[in-house]
């Protein structure tokens, strides 16, 4: 028996700066009609910048949803659905950290919250870094620091880093390039 889900409608509830919130009406395989929340996201890019000493460049910033500061890899939303994620990753690296990368390589792609959101983040490895000046948005307050892979791994397993893109990126980098 084929399990078939059929979207009967998608109604916009609220339009935001970063996301749009919809309520979907879905017919599930047994014929019942249910309401599901759906968050539409324009997509994002992130970057794991690694300096010549093998340290990862991280950003510390306040996150309103958690009401605290978090330690993360540099990242940001796409300027539009058609913007190449590689371009967005280079832009965010420069804006948030001031660094520029000679090489950008796709490390992995993640879907952050598949139960109700379509957000996709392409995460790049940035090497051949040269230092420059931050170009922050007027609402951004970002501190930059360099950490060893061991320090970041410890912070992940101690629960100090919980941001999903950062956890995935650091552990993927460790698996692929770590010693």
Are 46 and 112 part of one and the same domain? yes
Catalytically active residues, by annotation = 138
In sequence order, what are the residues at sequence separation of 6 or more whose Cβ sits closer than 8 angstroms to the Cβ of residue 7? 24, 25, 26
Are 50 and 17 part of one and the same domain? no
Are 48 and 91 part of one and the same domain? yes
Domain total in the chain: 2
Cβ–Cβ contacts within 10 Å for residue 22, how many?
Answer: 18
Are 171 and 129 part of one and the same domain? yes
Are 63 and 93 part of one and the same domain? yes
Are 52 and 35 part of one and the same domain? no
User: Is 110 a member of any domain?
Assistant: yes
**What is each CA distance from 120 to 7, 14, 67, in whole angstroms?**
21, 20, 24
Query: Computed over its alpha carbons, how large is the radius of gyration of the chain?
Result: 19
User: Is 1 a member of any domain?
Assistant: no
Residues of the chain whose pLDDT is less than 50? 1
CATH number at residue 144: 3.90.79.10
pLDDT at position 67: 96
Residue-number span of the structural domain to which 10 is assigned: 6-40
Q: What distance in Å separates the CA atoms of residue 57 and residue 33, rounded to the nearest whole number?
A: 48
């Amino acid at each position: 028996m084929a399990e078939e889900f059929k979207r009967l409608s998608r109604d916009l509830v609220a339009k935001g700066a970063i996301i749009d919130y919809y309520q979907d009406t879905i017919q599930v395989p047994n014929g019942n009609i249910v309401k599901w929340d759906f968050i539409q996201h324009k997509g994002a890019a992130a970057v794991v910048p690694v300096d010549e000493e093998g340290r990862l460049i991280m950003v510390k910033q306040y996150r309103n949803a958690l009401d605290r500061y978090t330690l993360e890899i540099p990242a940001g939303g796409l300027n539009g659905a058609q913007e190449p994620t590689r371009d967005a990753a280079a832009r965010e690296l420069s804006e948030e950290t001031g660094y520029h990368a000679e090489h950008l390589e796709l490390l992995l792609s993640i879907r952050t919250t598949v139960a109700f959101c379509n957000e996709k983040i392409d995460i790049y490895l940035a090497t051949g870094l040269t230092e420059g000046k931050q170009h922050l948005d007027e609402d951004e307050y970002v501190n930059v620091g360099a950490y060893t892979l061991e320090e970041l791994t410890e912070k992940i397993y101690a629960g100090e880093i919980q941001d999903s893109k950062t956890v995935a990126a650091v552990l993927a980098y460790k698996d692929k390039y770590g010693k």
